[in-house]
Amino acid sequence: MLIGLTIKDVVLIQALDLEVGPGLTVLTGETGAGKSIVLDALGLALGQRADAGLVRRGAAQALAGASFSPALDHPVWAFLEERGFAADPSEPLMLRRQLSADGRSRAFINDQPASVTVMREVGAQLIEVHGQHETVGLLDPRNHRPLLDAFGEAAPAVQAVAAAWRGFAAARDHAAALNARAAQAASDGEELTARLAELDRLDPRDGEEGALAEERGLLGSAEKAMSDIASARDAMGGDKLSNKLGQAYRALERARERAIQAGAGADHIVVVRLTAAADAVDRALTESSEAIAAIDAAAEAFEFEPDRLERTEERLFALRAAARKLGVAVETLPATRLRMAEALRSVENAEAEIAAANRAADAARAAYDAAAARLTTARQAAGARLAQAVMGELTPLKLEKARFQVAVEPLPPERAGPSGLDRIEFQVSTNPGAPFGGLGAIASGGELARFALALKASLAGRGSTNGPTMIFDEVDQGVGGAVADAVGLRLKRLAQDGQVILVTHSPQIAARADVHWRVAKAGGPESGGGLATSIAALAPDQREEEIARMLAGAHITDAARAAARALMEA
């Protein structure tokens, strides 16, 4: 709901702050007083096209600001969040536009810079404007389907179609992916078979490259290593060292026995030291034998087959060549082999899998078509009811020659989607015998506004309006008397659950207002200043006087005042 409007230096308005409430608000005043300026200023704040002519003469810039209090669950909050604007649903939403005299403008949403496009999109979610071919929401056929669905209370059917579409889209995409994969695999099948045969012959194993590289390095150094081992054995002396150590041990044993025969005891220092010396030589003999054996064992480890290095290198180079050919790392060859085998198996098994996927997609499409057909039937029935309701509104609004229909036309199959298979358009024929066409075929701005009023009156209470605030301009153009009263009744009905603001010249409509603003123009050369427009909210007695003026003209009579009271009390 619009709760406030701030205008500064817009055409004839120097400065104005208006508080706006719910219900029906009317603006009246003499012709040329500036009633349309208020709507122009509001349009400026809603992101509509800016014209430098809106800037008051002598002012550097014009300013228009609009404050709103959308419901906590209004989609505009999510829209702003998606676009990065800070907005608290518990606080008013502020739209502000500055227009310089050179035609440049700046837009702000909650004092945050915004593009005019975003401001216009926000404004479209908050206010509907009807009149002078600005009935944007109704003229655009893209809005007709959701309006009809809301009128027909078709939300469950719409949701069922959307769910069926999601199921079909998933099944269709799965089948398409299988077909594409099978086609690609089939085209690559011959090459894939040849490459897999090569890998099967090669039979790569996990970790094989590292082991072969290590073995190759070892084999490459084997000759030098064997020379080093031979040198080590020669340095040890081989059997000569063992023989000499054996001779030394036996000589020490004989010397110890002679010392004992000469009478030396076991604890005699000579016997003790000869024993220690013999034991040390014995250990050296043992260690030397073990060292020789270890050297011989090391030599045996290097006794490879003559062509072992050549075979190792051939295997390693074969693995690396295969990896380069396939564009993979050597260590992934076993996994690549498995994937190739699986791909070939998938080609062989693809026919059955694809057939199953195609059957699933066909079944999902059939389910979607059935749900869409049910929704089409519901839309056709709702369209007939809406057409009947609108036709019932046209005669009281002096549109008795017009006819209205809801065209529910089938879309091409390729344009199927989550909203169904229907193209919905509200169509009108303005004269008997004339073909039906879009709402844009209504030439008169006043007729268009009244037609919008007929539609809104028919749609009211079905959750099918885009927002609680509606602006009507020239809805009473060319009508009066009973027709104007019929317009007023419908505007009053629309305003009961929302907010309607309109400029009117009709006393019958003004008499039904909840809030009445009078627009007046003052000043001029005779007053020593420029012209300026002012707006005042009228008290009940002031309303009676204004409606009497609208009835009688410049000379207000008691009879006009009595007629005004009668209209206000009706």
pLDDT tens for each residue of 43-82: 899 998 888 889 998 899 999 999 999 989 898 999 999 9
Backbone angle region of 133, left / alpha / beta, with phi > 0 → left and psi within -120 to 50 → alpha: left
Q: Residues 94-124: pLDDT tens digits?
A: 999 999 998 899 999 999 999 999 999 999 8
Quickly count: other Cβ atoms within 10 Å of residue 362's Cβ.
14
Q: Would you state the pLDDT for residue 143?
A: 84
User: For the segment 229-288, what is each residue's pLDDT rounded down to a tens digit?
Assistant: 777 777 776 667 777 877 888 888 888 888 888 777 778 887 788 888 888 888 888 888
Side-chain-side CA neighbours of 148 within 13 Å: the count stands at 31
Say how many residues make up the chain.
570
470: its two tokens: 């509606």
- Residue 446 tokens read as 């006043």
> Cα(378)–Cα(421) distance, rounded to whole angstroms?
12
Q: What is the mean pLDDT of residues 295-324?
A: 78
What's the CA gap between 418 and 157, in Å, rounded?
Answer: 11
CA pair distance 192, 487, nearest whole angstrom = 78
CA dihedral defined by 229, 233, 235, 239, rounded to 10 degrees? Answer: 180
> Which residues make beta-bridge pairs with 28?
518
How far, in Å, CA of 171 to CA of 165, rounded?
10
Least confident segment among 230-239, 276-285, 359-368, 522-531? 522-531
Q: Of residues 468 and 508, which shows the higher confidence score?
A: 508
Nearest alpha-carbon partner for 22 in 38, 6, 2? 2
Strand order in the sheet with 469-473: 127-130, 469-473, 499-503, 23-28, 515-524, 529-537
Output the six-digit token pair for 165: 């579409």
Closest among 198, 67, 183 to 127, alpha carbons compared: 67
Q: Which element (helix H / strand E) includes 107?
A: strand 105-109
User: How many other CB atoms sit within 10 Å of the CB of residue 413?
Assistant: 9
Q: Which pairing describes strands 499-503 and 13-19: parallel, antiparallel, or unpaired?
A: unpaired
Find the range with the poorest average confidence among 17-26, 119-128, 133-142.
Answer: 133-142
Looking at the chain, the whole-number percentage of residues with pLDDT higher than 70 is: 91
Q: How far apart are CA 187 and CA 166, in angstroms?
A: 31
The CA-atom distances, in angstroms, between 402 and each of 282, 394, 450 are 131, 7, 12
**What mean pLDDT do residues 29-50 have?**
85
Q: What is the pLDDT of residue 526?
A: 46
Mean pLDDT of 384-397: 92
Residue 487, token pair as written in the block? 């317009």
The Cα–Cα gap between 179 and 184 comes to: 9
What is the distance, to the nearest Å, from the Cα of residue 204 to the centroid of all Cα atoms in its chain? Answer: 47
**pLDDT for 491-515, tens place per residue?**
898 888 789 998 888 899 999 999 9
Whose tokens are 């008397």? That residue is 481
Residue 444: pLDDT band with limits 50, 70, 90: low
494/526: higher pLDDT = 494
Residue 528 confidence (pLDDT): 47
CB 431 within 8 A of CB 401: yes
Q: Which residues pair with 519 in a beta bridge?
A: 535
Helices (H), ranges, 134-188: 136-139, 144-151, 155-187
